[in-house]
Structure 1
Amino acid sequence: MLLELSIKDFAIIEQLDVSFKQGMTVLTGETGAGKSIIIDAVGLLAGGRGSVDFVRTGTDKAVLQGVFDISEIENTKTVLTNLGIEPSDDLVITRDLFKTGRSVCRVNGTIVNLNSLKLVGQTLIDIHGQNEHQELMDSEKHLALLDQYDENAVGAIREKYQATFTEYSKLNNQLNKSRQNEHEWNQRVDMLQFQVDEIQSANLEQGEDDELEKRREQLINFQSISDALATSFQILEGDDDVSAIDQIGSVMQELQGISDYDEEYQQMSEEVQNAYYALEDVTNRVRSSIDAMEWNSAELDEVEQRLEVIRQLKKKYGNSITEIINYLQKIEIELNEMTGSGRDLNDLSEMVEQRYQEVKKLGLQLTKVRQEMAVSLEQAIREQLSGLYMEKTQFKVQFTPKKIPDHEGFDEVEFLIQPNPGEELKPLAKIASGGELSRIMLALKTIFARNEGVTSIVFDEVDTGVSGRVAQAIADKIHEISLHSQVLCISHLPQVAARADHQLHVAKKVVGGRTMTKLTILNDEGRVNEIAKMLAGVNITELSLEHARELLQTERER
């Protein structure tokens, strides 16, 4: 439920802070005082589209804030969790509307976009105005209203149907694409298969090209390498003259002989000793390299051919072996999807037909459940309408098979109405008057209030154009809804005001040449005076005060 509402620099409201309670709260006051502006503010907190016109003249921005108790509203907590916002029992929504047209929305301090705010808002607030019966007027939304009537009955079978239909649609789209573009499809498959085969047959290994380039250079320069190694070995180990390593050995012995006489001699001796052993190691490695060297004229050709294979693959599929391998993995996935793991069009067609039969079976079950729900809903609405003095009105849920089934099922659903005996049942949107739509909507709200889960339902002058016993019946229905959800209601009817649990009076005044809205929480005497004014107009008489007291007393006793 909505606990607190704060409005600053919004339209004609400079500053307004108000607390709301559970039950039915009615906002009364003269036309133009700002009652609907307050409802507009609530709607913006629920994700409604803003406008620079809402920003109070002379200010840079309007600030709206609402505090909601969501301790028992699991739908809201689920939405918050999905948005990455930690849910708590008290939910704070803030919205800033700037004169520049920018809007900033925050939920528990976290900035969210307007779509995210709508997701949260639709679990919190349901606003209905005297000219806002879109769900009833739009036959495309009647199916959703029917499902809403008994979600427990229809939810599981609908979910199973939709999952199966999604699988069927995916396969059917694949089949249609295959048939419509079979030539291009086959060409693409052939090309992908050729590329996969070409890359796979190369058996590429990471870093292979670098090793081959290195080996190629060695083979091209074989003679130079061989000559260099031989000359080096001859100098290091020599046959006739004293070798370089022998000479270094002699130096090492001489320095070792004097190393005890000075630290400098000791250091030189050690350095020459290290050089001797290093040259000895190099000599052995040169000898091994010479022994291992063998000219193979065919190897250079093999290396060149392998490098050419890799170069050609790089031209086609990537600048490196890594890129080529990544490309291979990508086209293998695409090829597998296109060929359906080896399925041809006939196999795919059989699968589509099989899945369609599953969809059809589940669709028939879904239709049966909905038809059973429709019978119950028709009876429930007739009972509610009877209490709203539309006892002779017939209400029916009409099912029409769809030409092509979709994600929602096999049937179109439309609400039909027969306001007067002897007339034909006709679409609700075509023949229902404003007053009838208001009462039908209230009937639906009375039925759905237990299941909707929203914390607050707002009625903005839905009782316009009615009076007498119908007005009293509407007041009773609105109050009945408030037993399951907090209700905020704007009304000019004394019957509705008297039926409310709480009453707020909205008035406007001019201060310093500026129009301002003031909101007052009425006590018992204030309610008597306001209801008397609603009964008698400007001139309040003792009779109207007496009538107002009688109305309030009657409602208390009820």
Structure 2
Amino acid sequence: MLTHLHVKNLALIRETEIEFTEGLNILTGETGAGKSLVIGSVNLALGGKFSREMLRPGADYALAELVFTAEEEKLAERLKQLDVFPEEGQVIISRKLMDGRSVNKINGETVTLARLKEVSSLLIDVHGQHEHQSLLQKKKHLEILDAFGAGELKSVKKELGETYRRWKDLKKELSEARTDEDARLREISLLEFEVDEIEKAGVEPGEDERLEQRYQKMINARRIAEAVATAYALTGYEEAEGAGSSLGRALRELQGAASCDGELSALVEQLTELDGLLNDFNRDLSEYRSGLEFEEAEFAETEERLNQLNYLKARYGKTLDEVLAYEKKQQERLELLKNYDEYVAGLEKRLTETEKELAKLCGTVTTIRKKAAGDLCGKIRSHLVDLNFLNAEFEMHFEELSEYTAQGKDDVEFRISTNPGEPLRPLMKVASGGELSRIMLAIKTVLADRDEIETVIFDEIDVGISGRTAQKVSEKMMLMGKTRQVICITHLAQIAAMADSHYRIEKHVEQCETHTAVRRLSREESVQELARILGGAEITDAVVKNAEEMKKLAENCKSQEQTGKQG
């Protein structure tokens, strides 16, 4: 639900804030007061186009900010899927608009305009004269029908979408498989060469690492051999200066002394242990030293094998594991191409089976849609009669598409006849702007209990209507306001009287500057505003009395609706 609108430096608006409530929120005001600016501000905040002329004279930037409550679990989950997490149950959308650019934010985080539009589409639905034009698009008609029939359609459409994607993938695979014979033979020849090259190499996992280690030892063998020989001599027993020889002499001297003093026995044991450790070390070093000896032929062989393995890695994968994985993949492809006819036949069979499944699901979806369309159009016709389409016929026309889609094969379109004897025709060929707004209102009323968007805004819903029709429109707006938040700008007293919250848009001149402000009216002020709408330039006592009666009638209507629901 939209709870707060903050606008700054937009055309006549210097700065204003509106606190919206649940139910039906009505905005009224004199011509030129800036009523369209309020909806314009909302549209800008939601990602609408901004031009330099919209900026208040003398201002460097304009700001449009919306605060929504998002406590409903389903909405919070859908927002979460877009990485938007309500803070204290709120989502704040703002746009700072400057010359040639804008800064868009959701809960203080800068986002792209596309992202802002995607998120806002879950929170609010704006219907102005331009938005009503979407009703002329056939794609919109299918969306409306599927929203109405979502209960039965949801699971079937999900299965349909998955089957369609499988069918499309199989078609692509079959198309790629049906290459000409020469191309197939060329690919077989290449695959055989690659597989043979890897097989003949006799690659073993980790072999390159072991050989590289051995190779590095070989090319550094002289330096390593000199160091090892020196270490061996310094720690050995062969030279008098070797640590082993010195340690041996020290041990013999200490053993002789220990026979005279038993306290030296512990030290003899320690030195004996050191002598053993050094002896073991010297023996291991000797073995390592002998391992450094190799023939030139062995060096050349190791270098050649490393070059072979590096060539394979450069051509078929970064590691030997990847080279072996590539060999396996190419071997499988080779087997497939050698059994080409069997492979293609298998693909054709799977495609045929999947297409049969797809056709069946499309048929099921069409059946559900046609049943839902009959129910939907019947309900819309009923509401259209209330909205002064007294002899209107309203149906949904079905045609079958030539190709499958993820939505099925239905091409649907709303068709209407507004006068007796006239054939049903597409909306775009019949309805005017004012009629489209009433048709959209009828549709929205039908979908009120099924639509998941909590806030809907209507601008110029009352174009071209008056009298009984205006009264019926107000009742529809009131009914919609029972299940969601409705915000409406109107110039008709019948609609304004039905407001749960009534706001007046006013134009003031201060210090030679004109600015627009919005304030919420009390019940008494609301009656006075109704009188202004009814009376025009002169507001007489009779006009005020008429306004009071209109307000009471609206309150009685809402009360009866509430009583009827409780009953």
TM-score range, shorter chain: 0.7 to 0.9
Residue 33 (structure 2) pairs with residue 33 (structure 1): yes
Query: What CA distance in whole angstroms lies between the structure 2 residues aligned with 1:338 and 1:56?
Result: 71
Deviations, residues 210-264 of structure 1 (Å, cap 9, x unaligned): 543565688899999999999999999999x99997798568757988999xxxx
Instruction: Please give the per-residue CA displacement for 1:399-441, whole angstroms capped at 9, x wherever unaligned.
Output: 1011112111111001111111111111111122233222211
Q: Tell me if 1:521 matches 2:520.
A: yes
* Matching residue of 2:63: 63
Q: For residues 361 and 232 of structure 1, do their structure 2 counterparts lie closer, same or farther at Cα, with a shift above 3 Å needed? A: closer
Q: Matched residues in 1 for 2:320 and 2:31: separation? A: 77
Shift in CA distance, 335/499, structure 1 to aligned 2, threshold 3 Å: farther
TM-fit CA distance, 1:507? 1.3
Asked if structure 2 preserves the Cα contact closer than 8 Å seen for 1:95 and 1:103, the reply is no
The alignment of Structure 1 onto Structure 2 pairs a total of residues equal to 552
* 8 A contact 1:245–1:280 mirrored in 2: yes
Q: Which residue of 2 aligns with 1:411?
A: 410
Indicate the residue corresponding to 1:316 in structure 2. 315
Structure 2 Cα separation of the partners of residues 46 and 467 of structure 1: 31
Q: Confirm or deny that 1:542 pairs with 2:541.
A: yes
Q: Distance between the aligned counterparts of 1:171 and 1:412, measured in 2?
A: 25
Worse-superposed segment, 309-318 or 463-472:
309-318
CA distance in 2, matches of 1:101, 1:345: 56
Deviation of 1:550 (Å): 2.3
| CA distance in structure 1 between the partners assigned to 2:63 and 2:186 by the alignment | 61
Distance (Å, rounded) in 1 between the aligned partners of 2:231 and 2:88:
86
TM-superposed deviation, 1:322: 6.7
1:91-135 per-residue CA deviation (whole Å, 9 max, x = no partner) reads: 131313231443333333444333332233222211111343233
Range moving further from structure 2, 450-459 or 78-87 = 78-87
Residues 479/282 of structure 1: CA separation in 2 closer, same or farther (3 Å cut): closer
The within-5 A match list for 1:68-79 is 68-71=68-71, 73-79=72-78
Q: Match for residue 349 of structure 1? A: 348
How far is the alpha carbon of 1:156 from its aligned partner?
A: 1.4
**Does the CA contact (< 8 Å) of 1:497 and 1:531 recur in 2?**
yes
**1:457-479: per-residue Cα shift (whole Å, max 9, x none)?**
11101211122222222222222
Change (3 A) 1:197 1:145: farther
Shift of 1:50: 4.3
RMSD: 4.6
Match of 2:23 in 1: 23
Quick one: which amino acid aligns to residue 401 of structure 1? Answer: E
Counting aligned pairs with the same residue, the percent is: 35
Aligned residue in 1 for 2:2? 2
Q: Which residue of 2 aligns with 1:360?
A: 359
Relative to structure 2, which stretch is displaced further, 145-154 or 339-348? 339-348
Equivalent in the alignment of 1:482: 481
Cα 1:79–1:52 change in 2 (3 A) is: farther
Paired AA for residue 375 in structure 2: S
Instruction: State how far apart, in whole Å, the 2-side matches of 1:247 and 1:174 are.
Output: 80
Give the whole-Å Cα distance in 1 for the aligned partners of 2:247 and 2:87. Answer: 85
Q: Which stretches in structure 2 are left out of the alignment for 5+ residues?
A: 260-267, 558-567
What is the letter of the counterpart of residue 351 of structure 1? R
Amino acid at match of 1:537: G
Change (3 A) 1:36 1:242: closer
Distance 1:551 1:357 in 2: 61
Contact 1:46 1:120 in 2 (8 A): no
| Cross-structure match for 2:563 | none
Specify the code of the residue in structure 1 equivalent to 2:136: M
C-alpha distance in 2 between matches for 1:133 and 1:270: 102
Task: Say if 1:237 and 1:383 are closer, same or farther in 2 by CA, change over 3 A.
Answer: closer
Structure 2 counterpart of 1:24, which letter? L
Task: Name the CA shift for 1:421/1:255 in 2 (closer, same or farther; >3 Å).
Answer: same
Give the structure 1 partner of residue 94 of structure 2: 95
Give the letter for the 2:463 counterpart.
Answer: T
1:135–1:142: 8 Å Cα contact kept in structure 2?
A: no
Once residues 297 and 554 of structure 2 are traced to their aligned partners in structure 1, the CA distance between those partners, rounded to angstroms, is 109
| 1:47 CA displacement | 4.0
Contact 2:125 2:456 in 1 (8 A): yes
Q: What is the CA–CA distance in structure 1 between the aligned matches of 2:419 and 2:364, rounded to whole Å? A: 34
- Equivalent residue letter for 2:42: V
1:556 matched residue in structure 2: 555
> Secondary structure in 1 aligned to 2:450?
helix
Cα separation, partners in 2 of 1:93 and 1:190, compared to 1, 3 Å: farther
More moved, 351-360 vs 536-545: 536-545
Indicate conservation of the 8 Å contact 1:52/1:97, yes or no: no
Q: How does 1:182-331 map to 2 (within 5 A)?
A: 187=186, 191=190, 194-195=193-194, 198-199=197-198, 202-205=201-204, 207-212=206-211, 215=214, 281=280, 284=283, 303=302, 306-317=305-316, 321=320, 324=323
User: Is the CA contact (8 Å cut-off) linking 1:70 and 1:88 kept in structure 2?
Assistant: no
How many angstroms does 1:311 deviate by? 3.8
- Residue 87 (structure 1) shift: 3.4
Q: 1:394, CA displacement in angstroms?
A: 0.7
Q: Is 2:490–2:496's contact at 8 Å kept on the other side of the alignment?
A: yes
Task: Evaluate the alpha carbon distance shift between residue 178 and residue 554 of structure 1 in structure 2; reply closer, same or farther with a 3 A threshold.
Answer: same
Deviation at 1:167, TM superposition (A): 1.1
**Structure 1 range deviating more: 132-141 or 373-382:** 132-141
Letter in 2 for 1:162: G
Deviation at 1:539, TM superposition (A): 2.2
Whether contact under 8 Å (1:382, 1:391) holds in the other structure is no
Which stretch has the larger CA shift, 392-401 or 200-209?
200-209
> 2: distance between equivalents of 1:302 and 1:96?
70
User: Structure 1 residues 227, 446: CA separation in 2 closer, same or farther (over 3 Å shift)?
Assistant: closer
* 1:380 partnered with 2:392: no
SS at match of 1:452: coil
Please state how far the C-alpha of 1:162 moved relative to its aligned partner. 1.2
Distance 1:179 1:78 in 2: 45
* Structure 1 residue 395 displacement after superposition: 0.8
Where do residues 385-464 of structure 1 align in structure 2 (5 Å cutoff)?
385-464=384-463
Whole-angstrom CA distance in 2 between matches of 1:357 and 1:557: 58
TM-score by length of 1: 0.83
Q: Contact 2:528–2:547 at 8 Å: present in 1 too?
A: yes
1:458–1:489 contact (8 Å) kept in structure 2:
yes
**SS of 1:97's equivalent?**
strand
CA distance in 1, matches of 2:382, 2:360: 34
- 1:346, CA displacement in angstroms? 1.9
Q: CA deviation at 1:312?
A: 3.0
Alignment TM-score, normalising by the size of structure 2: 0.82
Per mean C-alpha deviation after superposition, the further-off stretch among 359-368 and 7-16 is 7-16
User: What amino acid is the match of 2:527?
Assistant: V
Counterpart residue identity of residue 64, structure 2: L
Change (3 A) 1:548 1:170: same
Letter in 2 for 1:392: N
Alpha-carbon deviation of 1:21?
1.6
